[in-house]
Amino acid sequence: MFVIGLTGSVGMGKSTTARLFAEQGVPVHDADAVVHRLYEGEAVADIEAAFPGTTANGKVDREKLARRVLNDPAALARLEGIVHPLVQAAEDELLAQTQADGEDVVVLDIPLLFETGADKRVDAVVVVSAPAEEQRARALARPGMTAEKLAAVLAKQMPDNEKRRRADFVVDSSRGFDAARAQVRAILQAIATMPKRRRDSSQPPAAG
């Protein structure tokens, strides 16, 4: 099974691109969606213990939690120590299931793919990108987003140009849905002949 890592900075169109992969019949593991579920279930007690007052009615108050960890690297690291292992477990479960189902390709949609070293767990990386001014306009159009929040989010994300440099494929999301869909189809055609490179892959490393 070939594992694609999908990433892109805030406002770049990553979620839309993930849907385009799903549209082609590819299973997609959405790390953000897993976090949302954890914030309404499994992670709530541990987060309340670490950050008292950030949960209510059995759910994490994302705004309160964001204020608690924003611009506080130690607090953010503490939160990641709670959440990341749970997200990893959900990812492992999906990979095992898709392997058992005989799927040829799976997509791991991971916002901080490079930042967390998750690129080592995939066979190819797809980065979704758009011009900076378009990215900013999209991000600021989101409910609750402010210029300050956007700056804080971007500060913990690898710069877009570095992500593009490290990518195996780049999807330009500024050209509309049809163009993005065509790019996704082209990627799926290209990976059919690419070797796997995951550290845990059963394939031998490529020569040279």
Let me know if residue 36 belongs to a domain. no
The domain in which residue 158 lies consists of: 1-27+105-194
Q: In the prediction, which pLDDT does 203 show?
A: 42
Q: Which among 102, 123, 142 is the end of a domain?
A: 102
Q: How far apart are alpha carbons 119 and 5 in whole angstroms?
A: 7
Q: 3-class secondary structure for 103-171? A: CCEEEEECCCCCCCCHHHHCCEEEEEECCHHHHHHHHHCCCCCCHHHHHHHHHCCCCHHHHHHHCCEEE
What are the distances in angstroms from CA 152 to CA 11, 40, 66? 14, 24, 10
Q: How far apart are alpha carbons 124 and 99 in whole angstroms?
A: 17
Let me know if residue 202 belongs to a domain. no
Number of domains in the chain: 2
Q: In the prediction, which pLDDT does 208 show?
A: 31
Let me know if residue 199 belongs to a domain. no
pLDDT beneath 70, residues of the chain = 199-208
CATH number at residue 3: 3.40.50.300
Q: Which among 55, 87, 102 is the end of a domain?
A: 102
Let me know if residue 60 belongs to a domain. yes
Q: In the prediction, which pLDDT does 153 show?
A: 85
Q: What is the pTM of this model?
A: 0.84
Let me know if residue 112 belongs to a domain. yes
Q: Which among 102, 120, 154 is the end of a domain?
A: 102
